[in-house]
Structure 1
């Protein structure tokens, strides 16, 4: 699929999404509401130059379930760790700023990774370099280089899970299409 066709499909998908939101806000579906929504969507695109939504080349449902389960486990485990540190000697908890190099060049995967680490207790994204190759995160608790490496490895594993679940055009070679 060429780049222009992908971009057009992406914009169409975003337009359908916005039209769906418009219809939900109005609470009814009739010709006038649909036509008005179409005009509103076209005006929104013209006024704001909305970005193209990244498209997924392939979704692997079992890998998606695996990624959700592993994220849920990470969420539970980090909540317990942060809760324990908040109750036991809260003044002695140390954090660190950690740089994590990303393999994926997909905006969708990058967005999912940054949301995932920001949703977990104890980690938050503080910077994303202009080249989109390095995430800078603040992590708690980190008492030394080994725990910093463990946090970094956790972010890399999250990216790998998401890359296995959602095959994007930026990360998969075109010949892999089956």
Structure 2
């Protein structure tokens, strides 16, 4: 039943986006939106709306502050390398094994990664929760480990802030 409600929630969201794009609400636009949502579900694997059982506001604020700090620091680091030695900045693809199985947490994590200067999500394996990230600057194994540790730290913060059934079940299975 939760899956049906979750999919219905995603359908309502898509219909809302459709109506915003058209800029008006009338019978024909709503009908067209319903058809578009039905076709989208029929031809693709659209995700269900991820469920959150609990949001911890203090932890969410900590995660937001951490993101802002990381954004500022990475901007300075990338700017410094771009000005100092623009042709010699090296990057690497770093694989990170995410702990979360929640699509919501992984979505927040991948968004965070892609918005930071110097990191970019290259690939994600949803089934195994594996992320491949291009990190910059990465000159050696220690810097690759540092990039990986930063991603895992952000993921832990997000898991503490957004409690989801997927991660709750996983935590219970591990105990």
- Aligned pair count reads 172
Q: Which residue of 1 aligns with 2:77?
A: 81
- Could you state the TM-score of these two structures normalised by the residue count of structure 1? 0.82
* 1:130-152 Cα distance to aligned partner (Å, 9 max, x none): 64232222211123332222111
Taking structure 1 as reference, are residues 48 and 127 closer, same or farther at Cα in structure 2, changes over 3 Å only? closer
- Relative to structure 1, the CA distance from residue 44 to residue 95 in structure 2 (aligned partners, 3 Å threshold; closer, same or farther) is closer
Structure 2 residues without counterparts, runs of 5 or longer: none
In the other structure, the counterpart of 2:55 is 59
Instruction: Determine the C-alpha separation between the residues in 1 that align with 2:72 and 2:161.
Output: 21
Deviation at 1:162, TM superposition (A): 0.9
Give unmatched runs, 5+ long, in structure 1. none
C-alpha RMSD over aligned residues: 2.5
Q: After superposition, where does 1:71-150 map in structure 2 within 5 Å? A: 71-129=67-125, 131-150=127-146
SS in 1 for 2:87: helix
TM-score, structure 2 normalization:
0.83
User: Highest Rg: 1 or 2?
Assistant: 1
Residues 116-168 of structure 1 show CA distances to partners (whole Å, capped at 9, x for unaligned) of 11221111222334642322222111233322221111000110111111111
| 1:169 aligned onto 2:146 | no
Q: Cα 1:37–1:144, aligned 2, differ >3 Å: closer, same or farther?
A: closer
Report SS of the residue matched to 2:168: coil
Alignment partner of 1:6 out of 2, 5, 10: 2
